[in-house]
Chain A
Amino acid sequence: MPLQALRTVAKPQNGVGAFILQCKRIDLHYCDWAGSSKGMNDFLRTTLPAFAKQNPSIELSVSPRPGRHPVIKGLYINGRQKAICVRNMESGEILRKVELLKAASGERLRRERRPVKSANESVRGVWDPFHGHKYRI
């Protein structure tokens, strides 16, 4: 047989064509009794409906967690979760935290050592001693 083919799977490039927001769900837990949840209750009443309208791709779930500090949890497409306790925060701060969850990718926070990641080889090629001028004494 002159030619055979090897099967593989094409790799995704999120954002090149369609962009899929990685945050798919945010759970918001509040408490009616605890004082630490005052800001959270205000947030739920005033700011959350507008946020939900602006971000239709995030599934929002609001549920009480009595006797506990308020907490917001983000669930991401890679299956990981991020939780932020928003005790004693004001409505504006909580909105910033929710935006932080929305903008996250779900991956662990890690220090990136290589500045550029690419699936393509370098354009001008890596130097090798076999092509180009040879060093002569």
Chain B
Amino acid sequence: MKRIRLDRWATQIQPPRNPRLHLPPFSSETRAPRRELQQRQYQIQHQWQHQRRHAVTRRKASSAAAAQLEEAESAAPIPLDTSQDGDGAASPPQPQYAPSHRRAAQSAKLSALHARLALPSKLPLQTLARCLIDPSADPRPGYNNAPFALLGQDLLGYYTSEYLMCHYPRLPMPVLFAAQYAYVGSATLGAMRAEWGVEVVAAPGQEVDPGLLQLKRSVPGNAMLDGETRQLKDMPQARRLGSGRRNEEYNFRRGMSSRIVFDDQFGDLQSGLQPADAQPYPGAAISSPAADGAEAGSEQEQLALDTAASAPPPQPQSPEETHPTTVEQGSASFIRALAGALYLHAGSAASKTFHKDHVLSRQLPLHTLFHFTHPTRDLSRLCAREGFEPPVARLISETGRLSRTPVFVVGVYSGDDKLGEGAGSSLNEGRVRAAAAALRSWYLYSPPDSEVVLPSEVEGAAGTGRSKKQWKPQMVDIGEVIT
């Protein structure tokens, strides 16, 4: 039987999950009491540390580096010392959280990642290690990547949106949302994490190598609960996301303008908002519907306001209480945190270079993002708006009209100018494809590169440098065709 390698437990990549995996029900009774669990983990950690130390001295007995290493090892206290935590309140054995900063400097994986991404030396290894820790692994805001990710998400979104808007001023809003998602959305960032060679741990912990992405993984939807015959995804306990809009309970249509105002940079619902039918937490400032008399109503209000601690729902205090996330969301928050950390440590130029090297270098054919429903109608409205002659479809060439595989090449003309061309297996299909091609060529107009000046190139630190660019007002389009 293979010897158990305690130092590799948490870092080993698990095999693919079994969808028939039976999980214990979500109740606290089945979990081991916390103190015993922590003591056991403490013993395991110590055991591992003693093993490791002895192995080191045996292997490097003759080398001069061994002396230095031993010094460093004896000087560095065991990571389980309680001196780390800021909250000095009499806490029980310290919960097993993120690795210490000393370990970040010793990790080969972390240094290799730093070099592989060619990160500037101004970004310390310790910050990179912190960027790899998701809030689900460690809820303390001073030790996870959530603050960096908040900044980095806005930075990446800003750089991407200004690039798209300045280079493609006529891009319609839905396509702009889709292009933004394609460049800096969570799916792309999840793929990017894999391309960088950053591995994800099976479970977070303090013994884990600092160079691995740590997050608490959510249970897959096709897992089965113990005692149930249905899979998790089929259980009727789905929570609806809140949308942050007024009158949300009436389920109004979420149109484009509404998405621009209320939703995030991809046009999706914001995460973390309570739905309208959620129960308020105890002590919430509720305004009662003064049905019987203003007196009773005002009394109730006062009571509620008095007892309101004006505090949001309690934050998770320990890793056991945090909400699990998916690998994709964890990867996205890592990369956003890296962008934010680069901005803070190395300046806006470094974060802009990061965006250009990793995001804008990716290839996105914008013409594949369009999906038209009535292109002929849209095109004729567009020509009317712009003052062109009404579009007319003409047959350019054809073959095989009476055969099984005809081809008709149709062009759409406004007067003598050909706006677009399309081929189809019927006359109507050719006409529709031609109109769609014409609309795409209109919306994908791009001004020459000499005319394009991005706002971030001239504002802030970039605007005062030696090689500053001269600002040119960028083209702002009237908008997409409304039909």
- Using CB atoms and an 8 Å cutoff, list the residues of chain A in contact with chain B: 1-14, 16-18, 20-21, 24-25, 56-61, 77, 119, 129-131
**Could you tell me the distance in whole angstroms from the C-beta of B104 to the nearest C-beta in chain A?**
15
Main secondary structure of the interface of A (DSSP, over half): loop
Q: Identify which of residues 436-483 in chain B touch chain A, using a CB-to-CB cut-off of 8 Å.
A: 480-483
| A33 to B356 Cα, complex, angstroms | 52
Partner of A130, one of B112, B183, B363, B423: B423
Please state if B174 and A4 are interface contacts (CB–CB under 8 Å): yes
Known: A2-B480, A5-B175, A130-B399. A20 touches B182 (CB 8 A): no
Q: Identify which of residues 362-389 in chain B touch chain A, using a CB-to-CB cut-off of 8 Å.
A: 362-365, 368-374, 377-378
Please state if A20 and B109 are interface contacts (CB–CB under 8 Å): no
| B348 sits at the interface (CB 8 A) | no
Residue of A16, A18, A56, A129 with most partner-chain B CB within 10 A: A18
Flag B188-224 by CB within 8 Å of A: 1 or 0 each. 1001101111000000000000000000000000000
Closest to B194 in A: A77
Please state if B111 and A56 are interface contacts (CB–CB under 8 Å): yes
Known: A4-B174, A8-B178, A20-B196. A13 touches B363 (CB 8 A): yes
| B343 sits at the interface (CB 8 A) | no
Closest to B110 in A: A59
Please state if B112 and A2 are interface contacts (CB–CB under 8 Å): no
Please state if A77 and B397 are interface contacts (CB–CB under 8 Å): no
For the complex of A and B, the 8 pairs showing the least CB-CB separation, nearest first, are A17-B361, A56-B115, A5-B178, A17-B357, A10-B362, A18-B357, A57-B116, A5-B174
| A115 to B295 Cα, complex, angstroms | 85
Q: List 12 A-B contacts (CB under 8 A).
A: A2-B372, A3-B174, A3-B175, A7-B178, A8-B178, A9-B185, A10-B359, A18-B361, A20-B195, A21-B116, A56-B112, A131-B396
Chain B residues with CB below 8 A from A11, complex form? 362-364
Residue of A1, A8, A16, A77 with most partner-chain B CB within 10 A: A8
Q: Identify which of residues 71-117 in chain B touch chain A, using a CB-to-CB cut-off of 8 Å.
A: 108-109, 111-117
Closest to B397 in A: A130
Please state if A3 and B372 are interface contacts (CB–CB under 8 Å): yes
Closest to B482 in A: A2
Please state if A59 and B364 are interface contacts (CB–CB under 8 Å): no
Q: Identify which of residues 332-378 in chain B touch chain A, using a CB-to-CB cut-off of 8 Å.
A: 356-365, 368-374, 377-378
Chain B residues with CB below 8 A from A58, complex form? 112
Known: A3-B370, A12-B192, A17-B356. A24 touches B197 (CB 8 A): yes
Chain B residues with CB below 8 A from A25, complex form? 112
Please state if B399 and A14 are interface contacts (CB–CB under 8 Å): no
**Could you tell me the distance in whole angstroms from the C-beta of B197 to the nearest C-beta in chain A?**
4
Closest to B355 in A: A17
Residue of A2, A12, A18, A131 with most partner-chain B CB within 10 A: A2
Closest to B113 in A: A57
Interface bin, chain B? 35 or more
| A16 to B358 Cα, complex, angstroms | 9
Partner of A7, one of B116, B182, B362: B182
| A1 to B254 Cα, complex, angstroms | 12
Partner of A6, one of B116, B368, B407: B368
Chain B residues with CB below 8 A from A77, complex form? 194-197
Please state if B362 and A13 are interface contacts (CB–CB under 8 Å): yes
Please state if B397 and A10 are interface contacts (CB–CB under 8 Å): no
Chain A residues with CB below 8 A from B372, complex form? 2-4
Chain B residues with CB below 8 A from A12, complex form? 191-192, 195, 361-363
Known: A12-B192, A20-B197, A57-B115. A130 touches B409 (CB 8 A): yes
| B168 sits at the interface (CB 8 A) | no
Chain A residues with CB below 8 A from B109, complex form? 59
| B177 sits at the interface (CB 8 A) | yes
Please state if A129 and B399 are interface contacts (CB–CB under 8 Å): yes
| B181 sits at the interface (CB 8 A) | yes
Closest to A134 in B: B397
Instruction: For the A-B complex with A4-B371, A5-B178 known, give 5 more contacts whose Cβ atoms are closer than 8 Å.
Output: A5-B172, A11-B362, A12-B192, A57-B116, A77-B196
Closest to B363 in A: A11
| A24 to B113 Cα, complex, angstroms | 8
Please state if B362 and A2 are interface contacts (CB–CB under 8 Å): no
Please state if B112 and A6 are interface contacts (CB–CB under 8 Å): no
| A131 to B196 Cα, complex, angstroms | 45
| B187 sits at the interface (CB 8 A) | yes
Chain B residues with CB below 8 A from A17, complex form? 356-358, 360-362
**Could you tell me the distance in whole angstroms from the C-beta of B373 to the nearest C-beta in chain A?**
6
Chain A residues with CB below 8 A from B359, complex form? 10
| A89 to B321 Cα, complex, angstroms | 55
Chain B residues with CB below 8 A from A5, complex form? 172, 174-175, 177-178, 369-371
Residue of B117, B365, B377, B423 with most partner-chain A CB within 10 A: B365
Chain A residues with CB below 8 A from B118, complex form? 18
Chain B residues with CB below 8 A from A9, complex form? 182, 185, 187-188, 191
Please state if A8 and B370 are interface contacts (CB–CB under 8 Å): no
Chain B residues with CB below 8 A from A1, complex form? 373
